[in-house]
Amino acid sequence: MFTFLRRFARDQSPRGLALSALERGDFAGAEERFDTLLAEAESPADRAFYQNKRGIARVGLGRRDEALGDFRAALGLVAAYPPALTNIGNLLLEDGALDDAIEHYRAAIRSDDLYGVAHQNLGVALKRAGRIDEAVRELRRAARLEGGPFRRLRKQA
């Protein structure tokens, strides 16, 4: 019963509301909330987190150049910040710059080998580059890190 109710309980903190807006696809609302959080953030780690998330909102708004600026700003605050490196890799992948995207994903993995999103996206990029064996290895690694396809079922049990 409590697991069921927890799904409906939302974090009402400013950070929780910003993340919820991003999750719902309310990119303008998320951007506005992350602007406020950035103005109030004190630690470099928090600022990097909010820069990166605001960048994601800006990608959703179709403002890729501003998003790239946010991802780079996050890297300026926390060197080799895996989410920002991965998001830059995503922009490069969308542009067809496979080798550069692969290098950004690899840099994210060097920074945090347990960051499953980077392994997954590296697998996708390697597959597009025709490097199927490497792609399969990365996708399997990502699945292990994220708990595989049955993770949600195990969590609910």
Number of domains in the chain: 2
4 found inside a domain: no
Cβ neighbour number for residue 73 with a 10 Å cutoff: 18
- Tokens representing 105 are 């994903």
Region 124-137: mean pLDDT is 97
Residue 2, pLDDT > 60, answer no
Is the residue at 3 inside a domain? Answer: no
Residue 4: pLDDT over 70: no
pLDDT at 147 (0 to 100): 77
Range of the domain at 124: 80-157
Mean pLDDT score, 101-117: 97
Mean pLDDT along residues 99-125: 97
Give yes or no: residues 69 and 29 share one domain.
Answer: yes
Residue 153 has pLDDT above 60, yes or no: no
Residues 6+ apart with CB under 8 A from 45: 77, 78
At 11 the pLDDT is 77
CA distance 3 to 39: 35
Exposure class string for 79-116: b at 16+ Cβ within 10 A, else e: eebbbbbbbbbbbbbeeeebebbbbbbbbbbebeeebb
The pLDDT value given to residue 134: 96
pLDDT in tens, 34-78: 999 999 999 999 999 999 999 999 999 999 999 999 999 999 999
Q: In whole numbers, what is the pLDDT of the chain averaged over residues? A: 90
The answer to whether residue 2 sits within a structural domain is no
